[in-house]
């Protein structure tokens, strides 16, 4: 069965410093993986997706993620945090024959001035 | 602009009452989904529809019902059988239900109990 674990429920960084949000997945075959961002009282916006092409995936707003099969990880990074990046981030794996999305529990990113 | 519209933004339910949440998309997507979001948890799938006039139960379908009579519309009814309905409800759609198709989300409906 597919599953996803977000290793940190809260991350706090200073504006202008790097961001690292960690995600590990479990899948019995080559997975499709996504990162979504959610601002308060809003829906989810797709940041980037991995679907077995390049292992380094570039997304919107300067975010990128690297698929590492040996480590079963798909960590999200950004070189320099901006105040507008403060939000909740969800790592998602596509599950099995039904292609249902399986969500992590989310990481709340705070950006300090 | 193309997108997904959920209404209302806020909804209050009395005990024993059924309420219906609206979801409309003009993206011409075949697949539509309903999720429930509770604090500190990821999204959980309630129902999904891969095509018009067809839908399947998700992981937490008890106490909910849906219909898919039109491609662009996928309303969710929260029935009185759902004993803990207070949550943030999100509707999504995708081109198809294929694994490499990302889902696009509406801005949600927050349901509370009076």
- Does residue A46 belong to the interface with chain B, where contact is any CB pair within 8 Å? yes
Helical (H) or strand (E) element with A20: strand A19-21
Contacts of B25 in chain A (CB under 8 A): none
- Does residue B39 belong to the interface with chain A, where contact is any CB pair within 8 Å? no
Compute the average pLDDT of residues B90-101. 85
| Residue among A32, A42, A106 whose CB faces B108 most closely | A42
- Does residue A25 belong to the interface with chain B, where contact is any CB pair within 8 Å? no
Condensed to tens digits (0 to 9), the pLDDT of residues A65-103 reads: 999 999 999 999 999 999 999 999 999 998 666 678 889
**Residues 6+ positions from A6 with CB-CB distance below 8 Å:** A21, A22, A23, A89, A90, A91, A104, A105, A106, A107
Condensed to tens digits (0 to 9), the pLDDT of residues B67-91 reads: 999 999 999 999 988 889 999 999 9
pLDDT greater than 70 at residue A59: yes
* pLDDT value of position A105: 93
Distance separating alpha carbons of residues B58 and B65, to the nearest angstrom: 11
pLDDT greater than 90 at residue B1: no
**Residues 6+ positions from A63 with CB-CB distance below 8 Å:** A19, A35, A47, A48, A76, A77, A78
| Residue among B88, B103, B107 whose CB faces A101 most closely | B103
8 A C-beta contact, residue A91 and residue A74: yes
* pLDDT value of position B98: 77
Contact assignment for A44 to B42 by CB distance below 8 Å: no
Condensed to tens digits (0 to 9), the pLDDT of residues B4-60 reads: 999 999 999 888 899 999 999 999 999 999 999 998 778 999 999 999 999 999 999
DSSP A84: G
Residue of B43, B54, B61, B94 to mutate when probing chain A, most A C-beta within 10 A: B43
The nearest CA of chain B is from the CA of A98 a distance in Å of: 8
Q: Quote the Cα angle for B49-B6-B70, to 5°.
A: 40
pLDDT greater than 80 at residue A28: no
């Amino acid at each position: 069965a597919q599953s996803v674990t977000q290793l940190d429920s809260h991350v706090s960084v200073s504006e202008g410093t790097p961001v690292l949000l960690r995600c590990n997945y479990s899948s019995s075959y080559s997975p499709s993986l996504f990162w979504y961002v959610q601002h308060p009282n809003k829906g989810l916006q797709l940041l980037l997706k991995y679907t077995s092409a390049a292992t380094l995936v570039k997304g919107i707003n300067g975010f990128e993620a690297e698929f590492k099969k040996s480590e079963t990880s798909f960590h999200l990074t950004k070189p320099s945090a901006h105040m507008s990046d403060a939000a909740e981030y969800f790592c998602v794996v596509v599950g099995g024959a039904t292609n249902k999305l399986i969500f992590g529990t989310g990481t709340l990113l705070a950006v300090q001035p | 602009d193309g997108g997904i519209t959920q209404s209302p933004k806020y909804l209050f339910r009395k005990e024993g009452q059924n309420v219906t949440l609206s979801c409309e998309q003009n993206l011409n997507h075949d697949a539509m989904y309903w999720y429930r979001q509770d604090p500190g948890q990821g999204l959980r799938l309630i129902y999904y529809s891969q095509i018009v006039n067809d839908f399947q139960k998700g992981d937490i379908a008890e106490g909910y019902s849906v219909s898919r009579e039109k491609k662009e519309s996928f309303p969710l009814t929260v029935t009185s059988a759902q004993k803990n309905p207070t949550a943030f409800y999100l509707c999504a759609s995708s081109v198809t239900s294929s694994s490499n198709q990302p889902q696009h989300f509406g801005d949600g409906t927050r349901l509370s109990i009076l």
